[in-house]
Amino acid sequence: MPNNLTGVKVAILVTDGFEQVELTEPRASLDQAGAKTSIVSPKDGQVRGWKFTDWGDSLPVDVPLARARVEDFDALLLPGGVINPDTLRIDDAAVAFVKAFFDAGKPVAAICHGPWTIINAGHAKGRQMTSWPSVSTDLRNAGADWVDQESVVDGNLVTSRKPDDIPAFNEAMIGLFARQSVGA
């Protein structure tokens, strides 16, 4: 099974204001492929989603960021929304967590505004990436080659634009995580 993620541990880094569908649908696909997903957050207890125009559901935090260790995970998912990545990209611990995945060569998936944290982690330069259109200038200014596509895979990174692209994002993310996690 080329896309079997059995035994693959995926950290989902979020705080309040993540676009709910950009967490729940990719997480469901990862879980269905056999991955073990964990919400990691600088917040304790619960994080609250955003449903397009208003607050959404609260989800339990599985691992507080202060106790999260990159060595305990095989891959990272960065959901978007505006509030969530804008908060994470100025949180030194969150940026260090993201940077550590790249430094370790582990696969990372980011959708919508999620690439903001990748910029602050210093890993956008020289990469082909996509995002929500308003993030395109930020990515270009950080040295990325921004393209307008449903999903883009560049080495150990997959990026996507928006909720409508989630099916393509999920397929690319699961394929990347399966390829990158062989032997993990």
Task: Name the residues annotated as catalytic.
Answer: 112-113
Q: How many CA atoms lie within 13 A of 12 on its CB side?
A: 27
CB 163 within 8 A of CB 81: no
